[in-house]
Amino acid sequence: MRDYPSNKRLLLFSGSSNTELTEKVAEHLGISAGDVTRHKFKNGEIHIKFEESVRGADVFVMQSCGDPVNDNIMELLIMLDALKRASAGMINCIIPHYPYARQDKKAEGREPITAKLIADLLTVAGIDRLIVVDLHTATIQGFFDIPVDHVTAIPIIANYFKTKNIKNGVVVSPDVGGVKRASIFASQLHLPLAILDKIRPGPNEAKIDHLVGEVAGREAIIFDDMIDTGGTICEAIDMLFKFNASKVYVGATHPIFSGNAIDVMQSTRAEEIVVANTLPIKKEFDSKRIKVVSIAGLLAKTIKKVYDCKSVSELFKGENLV
């Protein structure tokens, strides 16, 4: 951490991946996002220049590391390096969707732990604090030796489902690894929990083995942290209907939607698919089937708490979150 005294200027800048979210956050804060000039050389190298002084300021830079993942990561690292060399007082990095989070441990020999590699790259680039939304696994926080504010969109998504007035419902975790987050989501809605057990034959492949819990005659809400190809969710939907669920909804924080995932999800028997705007949805979709809730207010409140040196956890008091 640098020793430059903060002059209590709050500056917010956006990477190119999700400028719409940054603008909404700035609107909540009552400020304007700062100007950044960026271009690519013909060989693909990225050039960044901040168009105002950041010396001594508390800077927040936001970048959702979605598709193209590697370009967005590199752009973020270059932005952080520029801020460090421009003598920013504090560099706060906001990553609504943390990249490479699924590779958080070695499942077999000779594999990388890329979630830790990303943490190392961010630290070397110069961040003083990380703000991230719904990590794939909370243990990634331990990869950092700087403060990490791990905030969650669970209450926002849960509030949407409260408007559905689901009386005989059940929350379903699509795998054993997601039980904790699904349990938190279920507690928000005061609904019971069921669990689908799955195995992964290979990357982006999933096979569901069996169900723990009761879904027959109930309105089931599958809840996960992300939807990538949609394969796991589609199989979960089919399995729940085999177990005689009356309706099936889907909730997830991160809409990765790789390949034709949007078409796949819209062709399922699910009533609605509800996601947060941590990542931009770049393809057209049916807004009656896919609902997007905003985390801009949550991120703005988090930024304000950090800037004012107040507790971020106060945002979730009474929400039974960890």
Q: Are 31 and 141 in a shared domain?
A: yes
Is residue 121 one of the residues assigned to a domain?
yes
Q: What pLDDT is recorded for position 152?
A: 97
Per-residue pLDDT band for 210 (boundaries 50, 70, 90) equals: confident
Look up the CATH number of the domain holding residue 257.
3.40.50.2020
User: If you count them, how many residues does the chain have?
Assistant: 322
Q: Are 111 and 233 in a shared domain?
A: no
Q: Are 158 and 238 in a shared domain?
A: yes
Is residue 183 one of the residues assigned to a domain?
yes
Q: Are 14 and 140 in a shared domain?
A: yes
Backbone angles phi, psi at 159, to 5 degrees: -60, -35
Q: Are 117 and 65 in a shared domain?
A: yes
Domain limits for position 227: 154-293
Q: What pLDDT is recorded for position 197?
A: 82
Which residue in 182, 187, 130, 188 sits closest to 156, CA to CA? 188
Q: Are 14 and 128 in a shared domain?
A: yes
Count CB-CB contacts under 10 A for residue 4.
13
Q: Are 161 and 232 in a shared domain?
A: yes
Is residue 321 one of the residues assigned to a domain?
no
Backbone angles phi, psi at 242, to 5 degrees: -65, -30
The rounded mean pLDDT for the chain is 93
Is residue 322 one of the residues assigned to a domain?
no
Residue 93, pLDDT above cutoff 70: yes
pLDDT tens digits for range 191-204: 999 999 866 666 65
Is residue 4 one of the residues assigned to a domain?
no
Residue 135, pLDDT above cutoff 70: yes
> Which distant-in-sequence residues (6+ apart) come within 8 Å of 318 by Cβ?
none
Point out the residues that are catalytic: 198
Average pLDDT over residues 50-68: 97
Q: Are 269 and 302 in a shared domain?
A: no
Number of domains into which the chain is organized: 2
Distance CA 44, CA 40 (A): 6
Pairing of strands 148-151, 273-276: unpaired
Q: Are 147 and 89 in a shared domain?
A: yes
Q: Are 309 and 275 in a shared domain?
A: no
Q: Are 198 and 300 in a shared domain?
A: no
pLDDT tens digits for range 139-191: 999 999 999 999 999 999 999 999 999 989 999 999 888 999 999 999 999 99
Question: Which token pair is 10?
Answer: 């709050």
Contact 218, 168 (CB under 8 A): yes
Q: What pLDDT is recorded for position 206?
A: 59
pLDDT tens digits for range 44-55: 999 999 999 999
